[in-house]
Structure 1
């Protein structure tokens, strides 16, 4: 059984473990780089700050008492828009509906904050993620150049919420 739960800054160790695993497993999927979060970047206060972004929602997926996936929701740059990001599912849990549960968790949060649009960026080569988002009603919404990693580039996808 897959369960999801919101996390707080006090859960930073669990979040850290999964995030570092995600960045190592799928560097093509994220604008952040593993090396940015290692060494001097791997500090408790930095992880806590990441989980304390005002207005954000951070969710873990768990199976048999073990964390197997993660996702975040962030306030967007425009009123009524929120963003989905940081979605990752560990390899052994893929194909079991974990990604679906994580997307739905952020959709629920978006509804709670009365967002009208849920926006995300995804690498154009990440076909599995694109298929997941399409399954949940996301449509193409142009191209984004991420200022944190301009060489990365990404497709934007959006979903209008009820």
Structure 2
């Protein structure tokens, strides 16, 4: 099985759009956005989202099929930490290492840009995702917030220190 990860730029807007919409359709509860909202984005909006100043977006390919996606950006309120977000793997490819490749891509990008920490928000009780992130050195913190799409759920921050020796 040949799997590769490719970082995307503005000219890849259709790829990001198609995989992102597939993710929102398959797992609407997992994202802070909605399929209906993002179906309304125009080409300029998708291209802007993929501008390098807005972080890194990547898609994993298994053979020629888009098997997953991930994004990373620098939110202003996180004191310089990169935030891993929009992690999704196509159901037929789950359990085959796609998630590991996507997390590694974010960590590599963060190191290339000399960032010292990567954080992510994870829904409580999502043990499969938590184990994935723990394999990559993330640890749970005591910072919580209500899930933006479902106030009955809570999210917790997991973080990974990227300073040398960590």
What is the TM-score of this pair, normalised by structure 1? Answer: 0.89
Name the CA distance, whole Å, in 1 between partners of 2:154 and 2:49.
22
Gaps of at least 5 residues in structure 2 are none
The number of residue pairs the alignment matches comes to 159
Structure 1 runs of 4+ with >3 Å offset: none
How far off is 1:129 after superposition? Answer: 1.4
Paired with 2:97 and 2:123, the residues of 1 have a C-alpha distance of: 21
Shift of 1:79: 4.3
TM-score under structure 2 length normalisation: 0.87
Distance 1:55 1:101, change over 3 A: same
CA separation in 2, counterparts of 1:150 and 1:64? 35
1:26 aligns with 2:32: no
Taking a change above 3 Å as real, the CA distance of residues 53 and 6 of structure 1, as seen in their structure-2 partners, is closer
- Distance (Å, rounded) in 2 between the aligned partners of 1:49 and 1:144: 28
**Runs (5+) with no aligned partner, structure 1:** none
Whether 1:67 aligns to 2:66 is yes
Compute the RMSD of aligned alpha carbons: 1.8
**Contact 1:139–1:159 (Cα < 8 Å) also in 2:** yes
1:107-152 residue CA offsets vs partner (Å, 9 max, x unmatched): 0000011111100011114322112111111111221346x64725
Q: Offset of 1:153 from its aligned partner?
A: 4.0
